[in-house]
Amino acid sequence: MPLLDTYRNNIVRKKGDLAKLSQDKARETAKASSLYQKISSAKKAMTSTKSPSTIKTKSNEIMRAESDFAQVNKAIADVDKKIAQKEKELASEEKKYRDEEARQIKKETAAYKKRMDSSNRALHSINDTLTRHEVAQKEMRQAIIDLQSIPENITVLFMASNPSGSLPLRLDEEARAIQEMIRKSAHRDSVTFVSRWAVRSSDILQAINEENPDIIHFSGHGTDTDELVLQNSDGTPKLVSKEAIVQAIATVSDKVRLVFFNTCFSAGQAEEIVNHIEASIGMTISIGDDAARVFASQFYSSVGFGYSLEKSFQQAKAALLLEGIPEENTPALYVGDGIDPKDIIYCNPGQIVV
């Protein structure tokens, strides 16, 4: 039984006991009143008679009545004592009841507050979830829009030059490795690979205008003074300055998004050219034939799998490590201001349906 019910029952019982004691006191008080009147009457009778026998009789009556009156007064005192004790007990039970009632109210208030707090937390959680879903949906819609802006097919223009008198390079193996890795990629039909060989300076703009590429790839020699080594009509080397290459790329179609300098000491050219296009890749120092071939082929394979520029670049560096070629720090990636390479994707083989 709950404590409140116990205390309530105790209060009712104590009040019942007090009512009974009050009745007992009333009866004893009535007896005392009757005896008092009897004594008063006997005393009056004694004063109004001269009969010795009457006086004696009334005197005896007074003595008996006073004896009974004393007993009744004692009984009344006992009842008063019991009433006082019951009133004390009643007050104690009433205090217990009030204290328990206050505890129950406090407990219920705390439980209600806890439920409200839990409900508010749940509501906030739902609101946060809805907000996150809304943000995610907006991001998804934007991602779809971004993907739809990616061409379904891209063209890679590979331009190679290895003039006579310069250190022989296996550029044909590099081109063959790139083509093979593209063919092995998931979206091979979305990447068109076009090559130009023995490239002269006059061939650059002509090839770009003819092919309208998305990616331009230079393969061959570079100098430590930021020059690209092409060739003259007689096959001898011709040095093309960084400024000339940058100016040439700056005037081509806006479709060009990446220039890949797979040549030695080409970081300066790559860094300068991102003032005009999204991104570029260049070599900080000299790069070996094997490193150039492995890095480039893996890069275009990753592009063919639809990966971002950032991931494709990192996978190409990882390929060098896997092949045991310690030149993973030679390639450098550059992007224009405010551009994140994680957001650049070149290959979108399928049309997105919203």
Q: Which of the listed ranges 9-18, 83-92, 133-142, 288-297 does the model predict with the highest average pLDDT?
A: 288-297
Q: What percent of the chain has pLDDT over 90?
A: 64
pLDDT in tens, 136-153: 777 766 554 454 455 579
User: How far is Cα 113 from Cα 106, in angstroms, rounded to an integer?
Assistant: 10
Q: What is the CATH number of domain 152-343?
A: 3.40.50.1460
**How far is the C-alpha of 61 from the C-alpha of 66, rounded, in Å?**
8
Give the C-alpha separation, 216 to 247, whole Å.
14
89-118 confidence digits (pLDDT tens) = 999 999 988 999 899 899 989 998 999 898
* pLDDT at residue 142, as a whole number: 57
pLDDT on residue 139 = 72
- In whole angstroms, give the CA distance from residue 163 to residue 167: 8
41/141 Cα distance (integer angstroms): 114
User: Token pair of 276, please?
Assistant: 């005009």
* Tens-place pLDDT, residues 266-284: 999 999 999 999 999 999 9
CA atoms lying within 13 Å on the CB side of residue 52: 0
- Can you tell me the mean pLDDT for 74-79? 92
Provide the 3-class DSSP secondary structure of residue 251: coil
Mean pLDDT of all residues in 306-325: 97
Above pLDDT 70, what percent of the chain?
94
pLDDT value of position 148: 46
- pTM of the entire predicted model: 0.59
> What are 60-72's pLDDT values in tens digits?
988 998 898 899 8
Residue 204, amino acid:
I
Domain residues of the chain, as ranges? 3-124, 152-343
DSSP letters along 274-319, please? TTTSSEEEEESS---HHHHHHHHHHHHHHHHTT-BHHHHHHHHHHH
Length of the chain: 354
